[in-house]
Amino acid sequence: MKLNHAIERNGAHGYFASANTAGGFYSLFGEAYDEKKFKSVYILKGGPGTGKSTLMDTIAARAERDGYEFEALLCSSDAGSLDGIIIDALGTAILDGTAPHCHDPVYPGVCGSIINLGAFWNEDELRGHRGEIEALFRDKSAAYTRTYRLLHAAGTARKDVIGAYERATDTAKTDAAVRRLLRQLVGHGTDGAETHRFISAYSTIGNVRLDTLDKMAKTTVTVSSSHGAGYVYMNRLREASKGMATVVCPDALLPEYCEAVYFPDEEVLYKLADDEEYEKGDVRVNCSRFVSSEEVRQNRAKIRFSDKIADTLIDEALSSLSEAGKIHGEIEKIYTPAMNFKGVTETARALEEKIFS
C-alpha cells in the first residue's frame, strides 16, 4: 500500500497528527484542530470504508485547483488514509473524528460541525454480518494491544541507550555549540509559537518518514543520530529556540524527544540523520564530539544490547501492525458494499461548495 496521494498534490504539506508510540496512541489533534484558530471545522463520523478519506481528498483536489496550500494529515496507523485536511487561508479544517482519535465539536454549531457518513450505510445488511464484524474488531484490537506492548518495551530499551548518552554528554559544551550554530543560521529567530507535527510513524505499511520539511528547507542541518547522542543535541536545540517560531517534530517512538526542528521563516531544518543522510546535509553536526568516549566505551556492551533489543521489538511491532492492517482491510470489505456512495459524493460536493464559495 502507498501513502495517500493527497500529499502529492500541488500545495500539499504532509504530516501526521498522531503516532503509535511507546506510551500508546499519541494524538496532536487538540492542537492541530484547535477550533479557536478556525472559522469552520468539519468532523467526519462513520465506520471503516465509509469514504471519509475520499471525501477529504475531494476537498484537497479543489484546494489544489484553486491554488491553496494545505496540510494533508495522514493516518499514523494506515498511511494510505487521511486523518484530516487543513486550509489555513480559508480558516477551514476537515478531520476524521472516529476512534482512536475521537473528536467532537468544542463550539457546536458555531465552528465545529459533524458530518455523519454512517447515515449512508445499509444497517440491515451490516447486521447480517454482526458475528463476523465482532470477531474482526476483536482480532484487530488484540493486534493493536500487542503492538503497544512491544512498542512500550522498545521504548524502555531505547531510553536505556539515550540515558547512557545523556550521562556521557558534556551538556555545557553541547549548549555552547547549539547556541553558536543557531546564531549563525537563524539569528534571534522570529517570535512565535512552537507548533507540533509528526513526520514519522509506525504504520501498517511500515516505518514511514515523510520528506515534507526536507522539501521546504533551504538549509538543512544533519545531526548524527548515532545511538542516543543526537536526541540529546536535538532536545537542547529545542530548549534554546524557545520563543521562536518553530515546527517541532516529536520522535515517533518517544515523543518526549524530537527528531526534527524547523524554523519556517528562516527555512532552516535541523534533523536527525543516519550515516547516508548525514553526508547530504548543508551543515553537519557530529554529536560524538560532545560525548565522553571513555564512558561510552565502558557501557558499550549494554548500549549495543539495548539497541539490538529495541530494533528487534520495533520490527515485531511493525509485523503486528501489518496484521492489524490486513484485518482492517477485511472489515472494509464488509462495510464498503453496504454504503450508498452516491450520498457520500453528494455530501462531498455540497461541502466543497460551502468551503470554497
Domain range list for the chain: 5-121+340-356, 170-291
> Where do the H-state alpha helices sit in 267-340?
275-278, 293-298, 300-335
- Angle (CA) 28-34-38 rounded to 5° is 135
Residue 7 reports pLDDT greater than 90 = yes
Distance of CA 103 to CAs 59, 107, 156, 332, Å?
20, 12, 30, 21
Map grid coordinates 529567530 to a residue: 189
Residue 226 reports pLDDT greater than 70 = no
54 burial via Cβ count (<10 Å: 0-12, 13-18, 19+): middle
Average pLDDT over residues 340-354: 95
Residue 186 reports pLDDT greater than 80 = yes
Can you tell me the distance from the alpha carbon of 14 to that of 38, in angstroms, rounded to the nearest whole number?
19
- Angle (CA) 329-330-336 rounded to 5° is 80
Share of the chain above pLDDT 70, in %: 99
Starting at the earlier edge strand, list the strands of the sheet with 70-74: 12-16, 70-74, 82-87, 92-96, 40-45, 112-116
What cell was used for 276? Answer: 547516508
Can you tell me the distance from the alpha carbon of 297 to that of 30, in angstroms, rounded to the nearest whole number?
43
Residue 37 reports pLDDT greater than 90 = yes
> Which pLDDT value is given to residue 345?
95
> Which pLDDT value is given to residue 105?
79
Instruction: Choose the weakest-confidence range: 227-236, 308-317, 324-333.
Output: 227-236
Residue 188 reports pLDDT greater than 90 = no
> Which pLDDT value is given to residue 111?
87
Distance of CA 87 to CAs 115, 217, 245, Å?
18, 21, 19
> Which pLDDT value is given to residue 301?
95
Q: Which residue has the higher pLDDT, 225 or 46?
A: 46
How far is it between the farthest Cα atoms of the chain? 69
| Nearby residues of 27 by Cβ (< 8 Å), 6 or more positions away | 17, 18, 100, 101
Average pLDDT over residues 51-68: 96
Can you tell me the distance from the alpha carbon of 145 to that of 163, in angstroms, rounded to the nearest whole number?
27
> Which pLDDT value is given to residue 227?
66
What secondary structure, in 3-state letters, does 167-228 show? HHECHHHHHHHHHHHHHHHCCCCCECCEEECECEEEECCEEEECCHHHHHCCEEEEEECCCC
What cell was used for 229? Answer: 547522542
At residue 34, the 3 state secondary structure works out as coil
Average pLDDT over residues 252-267: 96
Given a contact cutoff of 8 angstroms between Cβ atoms, the answer to whether 341 and 51 are in contact is yes
Q: What is the tens place of the pLDDT at every residue in 322-344?
A: 999 999 999 999 999 999 999 99
Provide the residue type at 187 as one letter. Answer: G
Given a contact cutoff of 8 angstroms between Cβ atoms, the answer to whether 165 and 297 are in contact is no
Residue 58 reports pLDDT greater than 80 = yes
> Which pLDDT value is given to residue 189?
82
> Which pLDDT value is given to residue 109?
78
Q: Which residues pair with 85 in a beta bridge?
A: 72, 94
Given a contact cutoff of 8 angstroms between Cβ atoms, the answer to whether 50 and 120 are in contact is yes
Q: What is the tens place of the pLDDT at every residue in 120-138?
A: 999 999 999 999 999 999 9
Average pLDDT over residues 153-163: 96
Residue 1 reports pLDDT greater than 80 = no
**Taking the model in full, what pTM does it have?**
0.94
141: Cα within 13 Å, side-chain hemisphere: 8
- Angle (CA) 169-170-172 rounded to 5° is 140
> Which pLDDT value is given to residue 291?
93
Can you tell me the distance from the alpha carbon of 254 to that of 230, in angstroms, rounded to the nearest whole number?
13
Query: What average pLDDT is seen over the chain?
Result: 94
Map grid coordinates 560532545 to a residue: 290
